[in-house]
Amino acid sequence: MELKYHTPVSFWFVIHIQLVSRHGAHLMLNSNMLISTTLFAPRTLADACLAITDSLPTISLDVGEDPTNSENYRYTFFLSEDDKPAFEQALSLVPDSLVPGSFEEVDTSIDYIAANRAAFPPLTIGPFFIARNDEEAPEGLIKLDVMPNRAFGSGEHATTTGCLLAYTHLVHSGKVFEKGLDFGAGSGILAIAAAKQNNTPFLCIDIDAPSVQINTQNATLNDVSHLVQAREGDTPPAGTTYNLIFANILLHPLLELSQPLTNALAQGGSLILSGFTEDQAPQIEACYSALGLHKTWQHEQSGWVAQIWQHSQQES
């Protein structure tokens, strides 16, 4: 259940801004005079802040990590001068009566697309070479073409790394997967990786319609469109089980959807969870253990956690 980003579609010109964060996203903005303001506020206000862009469609929002407080997000709003009164009124109605910071003019002369590409060099994670700008993969590595865009999952975040390393651990353990589910798939990078390495068919689900489109494009780009199918949704499919499930989302949806995720896990299958921090891990462990699952593997990086869960009495 990825956090969605609002993307206005009528514009005089387009600015792309990419942030290296749990929810990095390209934003498309419209105006001949753009300004931005940034505030740091609790993660729990994300939906309320996003709702502002639903009610005021000429305003865009980018969400990133607060480097000084793991309980907060950084909320950066992009708008025109004409939008300021309505924006400030809408912001005052958000719980805790948020107050915007100073407003700064956005430099529209910058080629943000070129800057973004320069900021995203290729990555190597386990056996995977993630090419964000169509670089050639070194011999022996599996190339994943995932261009930086508004869908989460271009490879740089610790949760993506953790999920790919978890999958690599399972493959090295001799696991074979007949069918996979990538829930909260974003760009589809995890499903695409498994499909390219072992021809595993995947269903990808994301709550964000543009991410579903990007997922489909990435599957085609990587020549696995016959294996990776993407669709919009907010819950795992009922009545179907999968040998491999990726759920790289956030703490609260992982807790809220723990039962349907567990129901979707086939006997002998593996559930890879990520999107939560080290201090949040005990909540995940208490929840999934109570549902009869057993944690078999864990990876920590930059404060983020990835875990493998399997049905009890099942070896990793």
Provide the residue ranges of all domains of the chain, joining segments of one domain with +. 1-119, 157-311
Q: With 90 as the cut, is the pLDDT of residue 247 above it?
A: yes
309: Cβ–Cβ under 8 A, 6 or more apart, which residues? Answer: 265, 270, 271, 272, 273, 288, 293, 294, 295, 296
Residue 283 confidence (pLDDT): 98
pLDDT in tens, 220-245: 999 999 999 999 999 999 999 999 99
pLDDT top residue among 3 and 181: 181
If one looks up domain 1-119 in CATH, what number appears?
3.30.70.260
Correct CATH for 157-311 of 3.30.450.30, 3.40.50.150, 3.10.105.10, 1.20.200.10: 3.40.50.150
Residue 263 confidence (pLDDT): 97
Rounded mean pLDDT, 59-84? 87
φ/ψ (deg, to 5) at 264: -80, -10
Bridge partners of 77, per DSSP, are 37, 61
Rounded mean pLDDT, 61-69? 83
Per-residue pLDDT band for 44 (boundaries 50, 70, 90) equals confident
**How far are the Cα atoms of 148, 235, 274 from residue 281, in angstroms, in the given order?**
29, 22, 9
Residue 201 confidence (pLDDT): 98
CA distance 42 to 52: 16
The alpha-carbon radius of gyration of the chain (Å, integer) is 20
Percent of the chain whose predicted confidence (pLDDT) is above 70? 84
Residue 113 confidence (pLDDT): 62
6: Cβ–Cβ under 8 A, 6 or more apart, which residues? Answer: 50, 53, 54, 57, 59, 60, 61
pLDDT in tens, 119-173: 678 889 999 999 877 788 899 999 998 865 544 555 678 999 999 999 999 999 9
Identity (one letter) of the amino acid at 277? T
